[in-house]
Structure 1
Amino acid sequence: MLETLSALSRLPRPLYGSEHSLPNQAIGQPHCHPWAQLSHALRGTLRVETERGHFLAPPGQAAWVPAGMRHAVYCSPGTVIRSLYVVPEVLPTFGKKSCVLRIDALLRELIQAFSLLPEHYDVTGADGRLAAVLIDRLAEAEEAGIILPWPEDPRLQALCRHLQAHPDDRTGLEALAEHFSGVTGRTLSRWFLAQTGLNFRQWRKRCRVMAALPLLERGERVTDAALACGYDSPSAFIAAFHEQLGAPPGAFI
């Protein structure tokens, strides 16, 4: 699948993405291409990883990756993806940054309708006008969602990968700092702040909330999600979730 994607030197149309075409597959291998990509989950949760950060997009949101940026796309079981590939000049609104966009009801319907068009749709007819409306709506989409900034230091990256794979790990800051980097907890937190904009405690909290979203999305209880992500009580988890996303778990899902 990735080989097929890489074989494209240019898109068939300035806005491209059919229901049955290759963009609607999650490609976990890091790759890049000369066009921008919007990955939207009609059902399930998407995680897009770049060298600068990890982006989580549950239903109602979509991850935007600019042209030329290396990324990998992962999804929870049962996820239904609709991806759009965009020639950079067609939608320059978001520039060269990756982000998460809010997908309102109209934009969701436009994406679904566009995915039913043939790959070589008529850009001068009704299909082309639908594509133009979709591009206009995307340009107005608000940024949303939760982004986990990724550090550059290999020692911090190893720690981050561990915490992402084991959100229930309750090992303290000092022990983690000594094990992964041989420095004090204070130094480690200072490194995190310099490289991610978050101190260690803030980064870990955001990582845990991101780990909980796929669990909640597939119907697990708030209590079970809280315990699986390292929280002693549902109330502490709900408070952290509300702090990160502006709503309690039930309202968000």
Structure 2
Amino acid sequence: MSPNGHPEHRLAALKQLPRPVYGQAESLPNVALGYRHQHRWGQLSHARGGLLRVRTDAGLYLVPPRHAVWVAARVPHQVRCEAGTHIRSLYIEPTALPWPAGQCRVIAVEPLLAELIESFSGMPIEYDRDGADGRLVQVLLDRLGAAREAPLLLPLPRGRQLRGICQRLLDAADDPRTLGDWATRLGVSQKTLSRGFLRETGLTFRHWRQRARLLNALPALERGERVTDVALACGYASLSAFIAAFAGHFGQTPGELLRRRPHD
């Protein structure tokens, strides 16, 4: 097949979508593209199994099973995934959904919405807008617009010092150093670092680290590792403290958030 025949190149060559929603299984690369890129349209990627990681300038989005990430049009991003992750992607005209332009989000995917996404992948590219397929697409868009946003964004600072701290905490979630410890190591005041975290991430250092630890736990939980082991590896002194923090942030226990559904 020539390079222009690859689904990814065919998508990039399009000047406009043939219909407001485009996402047939045979016409799209349902794989993670790990290099930085962007699209003319909004991209919805549904994690049918496994875990997606999407990085934008705003931060890191983690997408566990039964969730999907919306990458707004023209937003540069990179996508990575755990081994065995199953992805289904849709490309959608930005005006077809009620979400603000330029803003990405992770949404919870209810069973009906999951089936609508899967059913759409088998439809003709130029589906009949006024027929049964067009009505199904409208239901799909309605359910997307009503989907609950999930707290799965970890904002990342732009400043070199703060980004270095954040990367260390992402690499070693159990790192016990306080903001005062980091300030001493970097030769700056704790107040300077504290203000920087709040300004650049919208979170205090304590809240940012807790969110980082909880999001860091998702890949291990998805792989089926023991919750106790995951809690300790993420810096929690006890299982009960981890579950309380997890439920407080996600509104669900680890088992409820990541429980598996059989794939087709």
Whether TM exceeds 0.5 here: the answer is yes
Aligned partner of 1:207 in structure 2 is 212
- Partner of residue 41, structure 1: 47
Aligned CA distance change for structure 1 residues 174 and 7 (closer, same or farther; 3 Å): farther
For residues 2 and 211 of structure 1, do their structure 2 counterparts lie closer, same or farther at Cα, with a shift above 3 Å needed? farther
Structure 2: where are the runs of 5+ without partners? 1-5, 259-264
User: 1:240 — aligned with what?
Assistant: 245
What's the CA shift for 1:171?
2.9
For residues 167 and 149 of structure 1, the distance between their equivalents in structure 2, rounded to whole angstroms, comes to 16
Q: How many residues align?
A: 252
Q: Deviations over 1:37-67 (max 9, x none)?
A: 1111011122221111222221222111111
Pick one of 85, 103, 108 that aligns with 2:109. Answer: 103
- Per the alignment, residue 60 of structure 1 pairs with 66
CA contact (8 A) 1:55 1:100 kept: yes
Counterparts of residues 1-253 of structure 1 (less than 5 Å): 4=9, 5-179=11-185, 181-253=186-258
* Counterpart residue identity of residue 201, structure 2: T
Indicate the percent of aligned positions where both proteins have the same amino acid: 52
The 1:155–1:21 alpha-carbon spacing in structure 2 relative to 1, beyond 3 Å, is farther
Cα 1:126–1:71 shift into 2, 3 Å: same
Q: Residue 24 of structure 1: SS of its match in structure 2?
A: coil
Residue 247 of structure 1 aligns to a residue whose secondary structure is coil
Q: Specify the code of the residue in structure 2 equivalent to 1:158.
A: G
Give the CA deviation at 1:155. Answer: 1.9
C-alpha displacement at 1:124, in angstroms?
4.1
Aligned alpha-carbon RMSD (Å): 2.1
- Asked if the contact 2:7/2:27 (under 8 Å) is kept, the reply is no
TM-score, reference length from structure 2: 0.86
SS of the residue aligned with 1:191? Answer: helix
One-letter amino acid matched to 2:99: T
Gaps of 5+ in 1: none
